Amino acid sequence: MSRHRFHNMYLTTTVSVTLVLFLLGIECVLLLGAGELVQRIRENVDLTVVLRSDADSTANNRLQRMLQVAPYSREVEYISAQQALDDHISQMGEDPTQYLGYNPLTDSYVVKLNAEYVQPDSIKAILHSLNSFDFVSQVIYPEDVVSVLDSNVNQYSAIILAIAAILLFVAISLITNTIRLQVYSRRFLINTMKLVGAKSWTIKGPIVRRNILIGIIAAVLALALIVAMLYYAQRNYMLQIVTPTWQNVAILSGTLITAGILITLVSSIIATNRYIRMTTNDLYYV
């Protein structure tokens, strides 16, 4: 087979692997973007600790110190009864003290939670801890939001991972067939090497290394395409799917390069083993 045909095969393999890795990279970007969105939503979940009206300053200070050092607290804001009344008047346009004769609101703390604690089991443990204080009247948080968020995140992640697994299986099958065309033209050379006593890896080594290099090149090309797509979406549509941090770049790059190496490694071994196992007579009928 001419050198030109070999170059065309390598080009075809590179393009095929690039397209597959591009699709895998898009899924990775969607997972990273969804993770950032969920992170922002969770960080905006507040826990309001309402104190009893008869809570003294000692109890108040004790609770404040505990909340400030608690591992689940990202930020703690103290709201006095008077401040709560002023906020109520500005938002609702009415003053309850005019017909009640006293301020019905009490001191409270608004706790912004760390994202990893915004899940049903963790919040239940936090509620149990806070309700153990006898001067705490109630603890309020958006229970429905937390439950729906936790459920949707699990479902979304499961769907994306299932699609990625199916795509990876299809990718290995398709690329194995592409690489098999490369190996096909060398089937008699492989058989000759086998007859003179060459070990299996001695035969497969050059083919596997060449295709791993193709996988790395394809990963770089796929990464460049994804970066260009994200830049275009940001520049022309003001759409930022994922924040361009070094951490996200490292995750995406590592995922694509690892996938490129694994896909080409597995596909090369599968394709080469087929011809290594064949007898000389069988090679004339494939």
pLDDT of 284? 65
207 touches 35 (CB < 8 A) = no
Instruction: Give the tens place of pLDDT for each residue, 193-251.
Output: 887 877 877 878 888 898 899 999 999 999 999 999 999 988 888 888 888 889 999 99
Q: Please name which of 271, 276, 280 lies closest in space to residue 210, comparing C-alpha atoms.
A: 271
Phi-psi region of 109 (alpha: psi -120 to 50; beta: other; left: phi over 0): beta
Q: List, for residues 53-74, the tens digit of each pLDDT value.
A: 887 888 888 888 899 999 999 9
CATH of 46-141, one of 3.30.70.3040, 3.30.70.3270, 2.60.40.10, 1.10.132.50: 3.30.70.3040
Identify how many contiguous H helices and E strands the chain contains and give both numbers: 9, 4
Q: What local confidence, expressed as pLDDT, does residue 42 receive? A: 84
Calpha distance 130→141 (Å, rounded): 13
Q: Is the pLDDT reported for residue 1 higher than 50?
A: no
Instruction: Assess contact for 180 and 155: CB atoms under 8 A.
Output: no
Task: Identify the residue whose tokens are 């007898």.
Answer: 279
Relative orientation angle of helices 246-277 and 3-43, to the nearest 10 degrees: 140
> What is the predicted pLDDT for the residue at 7?
60
pLDDT tens, residue by residue, 94-115: 888 888 788 888 889 999 999 8
Compute the mean pLDDT over every residue in the chain, rounded to the nearest whole number.
84
At 110 the pLDDT is: 92
Cβ(27)–Cβ(167) under 8 Å? Answer: yes
C-beta separation of 271 from 180 below 8 A: yes
Confirm if 33 and 241 have CB atoms less than 8 A apart: yes
Residues pairing with 51 in the sheet: 136
- pLDDT at residue 154 above 70? yes
Question: What integer pLDDT is reported at residue 142 of this predicted model?
Answer: 86
* Mean pLDDT of the region 73-96: 86
Amino acid at 118: V
Q: How many CA atoms lie within 13 A of 82 on its CB side?
A: 0
User: How many other C-beta atoms are found inside a 10 Å radius of the C-beta of residue 175?
Assistant: 25
Q: What does the pLDDT look like over 159-199, one tens digit per residue? A: 877 887 887 787 777 777 777 777 777 777 777 888 787 78
The residue extents of the domains of the chain are 3-40+149-285, 46-141
**In contact, 262 and 208? CB cutoff 8 Å:** no
First to last CA, the chain: 16
Average pLDDT over residues 250-266: 92
